[in-house]
Amino acid sequence: MTPEVPSAAVHHQASEDQQSYRWPVVSKSQAGVLISVIAGVAACTCIALQAPGQVSMDTSVQLYEASIGQSISYNPPFMSALMRWLGGGSVATSLLVLINAVLLYGSFALTAVSVGNMGQDQGRDHLPYWRIILAIVIVLNPIIFLYAGIVWKDVLFASLLTSGCALTLAASTGGIYKRYACALGAIAVLAAGMITRQQGIFMVPCILLAVIVALWPSNSRNQKFYVIAGVIAAFLVSVTVLQKRVDAAIKPPVKVATSVGFRNLMIFDLAGMVSDSDRQASDYAFPISPEQLTAIRQIYTPERVDTLDRTPFTQAWVGRLPNSELSDAWWAMLKQNPGAYAEHRLSAFGKLIGLYGLEGTLPIHIGVEGNPSYLKQVGIGEGRDQRSQLIYDIAVQYFTWPIYRHFFWLGALVLAVVIGVYARLPRRLLLISALIAAATALMYASYLPTAIAADFRYLFGAIPLVMMLFMVLLMGGRITYWKR
C-alpha cells in the first residue's frame, strides 16, 4: 500500500509548486476531469459525424469475408471476424467507428486521470494551466478525429494498442483489484492487437513488458515470479482463444499471405535496384533485357509497388519466378547493388514519412467505395453524403500542416524521449513510457526495410502513442521552472 502523505507535507508541496510556476495552477484531479469531458465530447462528435463509417476497397473485401466466413485476401482475418461477430454490413462498420472513437479518446482520458493519480499519490497535486491547455490541444488532434471514422484495420490496430497502453498506465496506480482488472483489460486488447496487423508481432511484446512493470511488486521475489508468469500466461491464453474464435469465424485463404507479401517486397526491391543503378542491362547479376530495364525504369516509383503492374515487362522479368528463384535473384542483386538498394529503401521510407509531400500517400478516405458486388452482398451502397464531404473539407484544411507528415511525429517521438530523460517521472511511469516509446520506434523502424507503399494510414498507429507519451510528460513530468 502507498504510505499516506501527511496533509502538512501536501500543503507544503502545493505551495512549492505554486511558487515555482509562472502560471496559475489547477489540481490534477480537476485537470483529469476536464480532459475526460473534452475527450468524451470529441468521441461523441466523431461518432455522430462519421457513423456508419468510411469504407474503402480493402474494407469492402473484409466486409465480404465477414459475410461468407471465408478469407479471400491477404489481410489478417481478425477484423473480418470482428465484423462478422458485430453483425456484418453497416451495423458492423457503425460499431467499429464507435469502438475506435471510444478506445482512442477514452485512452487519452484514462491516461490523464491515471498519471494525475500517480502525482497525487506522491503529494504533487498541481499543474500549471499551460500544461492543461497543451494536453487539451493534444486530445483534439484532428488526425485522430478524421481517422477514427475510417473502417481500416490500421485504425483498429491503433485503437487496440493505444487502449492497451492506457490500461497499462491505469494498472500502475490505485487499489490492487483495480490494478489487476486494468492489467487483464490491457492483456485482452493487446492480444487482439497482436493478430490485427503484422506489426503487432514485435510491438505488443514491448507493451506486454510494460504491463509487467505496472504490476511489479516492490519486495517479494515470489510475487515477482507470479506477476511475470501470470501476465505471460494470461496473454498466451487470450491469443489462443481469440485465434481459435477467428479461425472458426473466417476460414483461411488458399494462399499463404506472408508468401505473397514477401513476393511483392522482393519485386519492389528488384525494380528499385535497377532503377537506382547506372548499370547496363547486361551487367546485372540477375538477367534483364534492355526492353525490360527501360520499361521498369520508366514505371518505377518509390511511392508504391502497384505501379509495376502497369507494364507486362515486370511480369515477364520476375513475376513468374517461383518463390525460391525470386529469393535467390533478390539476394544476388542486393549483394551486387547495395548502394542502389539503400537508395531505393530510403526513398520509399522518405515518401512514407512525408518528406516529399502528401501526393500519393492517400491522406484521407471518405464515403463508400469498393468492389460493387461485395458491397451489394453486404447491403451497403456506394457513394458519398453530406457528412462524408464535411469530413473531407475538414481534412483538406490540415494537408499542409506538419501533423499530416509522419516525420513530424517521428521527430516528436525523439523529442518526447529527450524530455522524458529530464522530466523526473516516477520510476515505474518512466519505465512504462520507455517501453511504449520503444514499441512506437519499432513501428517506424519496421517500414525502413519493408515499405511497399506510402499510404498515410500505415503509420497511423504511431500517432496516438506519441500523443500519449506527451500526455504523460505534461501530467506527470516534474521539470524545474524558473521562479518569478
Locate the domains of the chain by residue range. Answer: 24-250+368-397, 257-352
Q: Is the pLDDT of residue 9 over 70?
A: no
Over range 430-440, report the average pLDDT.
Answer: 97
Cβ contact 118:426 at 8 Å: yes
Provide the pLDDT for residue 19. 44
Over range 177-204, report the average pLDDT.
Answer: 96
Q: Is the pLDDT of residue 216 over 80?
A: yes
* Per-residue pLDDT band at 26 (split at 50, 70, 90): confident
Return mean pLDDT, the chain.
Answer: 89
List Cα–Cα distances, 93 to 80, 148, 150, 245, 365, in angstroms: 11, 11, 9, 20, 14
Provide the pLDDT for residue 187. 98
Cell of 436: 511504449
* Per-residue pLDDT band at 119 (split at 50, 70, 90): low
Cell of 234: 494470461
The pTM of this model reads 0.90
166, amino acid identity: A
453, amino acid identity: A
Q: Is the pLDDT of residue 292 over 80?
A: yes
Provide the pLDDT for residue 3. 43
Provide the pLDDT for residue 5. 43
Over range 217-228, report the average pLDDT.
Answer: 86
Q: How far apart are the C-alpha atoms of 361 and 363, rounded to whole Å?
A: 6
Q: Which residue has the higher pLDDT, 122 or 45?
A: 45
DSSP 439-467: HHHHHHHHHHHH--B--GGGGTTHHHHHH
Q: How far apart are the C-alpha atoms of 300 and 29, rounded to whole Å?
A: 55
Q: Is the pLDDT of residue 71 over 80?
A: yes
Provide the pLDDT for residue 424. 87
Provide the pLDDT for residue 481. 46
Q: What are phi and psi of 383, to 5 degrees?
A: 130, 180
Cβ contact 217:224 at 8 Å: yes
* Per-residue pLDDT band at 442 (split at 50, 70, 90): very high
Q: Is the pLDDT of residue 124 over 70?
A: no
Provide the pLDDT for residue 344. 95
Provide the pLDDT for residue 361. 92
Q: Is the pLDDT of residue 4 over 50?
A: no
List Cα–Cα distances, 59 to 69, 143, 187, 381, in angstroms: 15, 20, 26, 13
Cβ contact 238:191 at 8 Å: yes
Q: Is the pLDDT of residue 241 over 80?
A: yes
- Summarised one tens digit per residue, pLDDT across range 347-403 is 999 999 999 999 889 999 999 999 999 999 999 999 999 999 999 999 999 999 999
Least confident of 8-22, 67-81, 174-188, 304-318: 8-22
- Summarised one tens digit per residue, pLDDT across range 327-345 is 999 999 999 999 999 999 9
CB atoms within 10 A of CB 261: 14
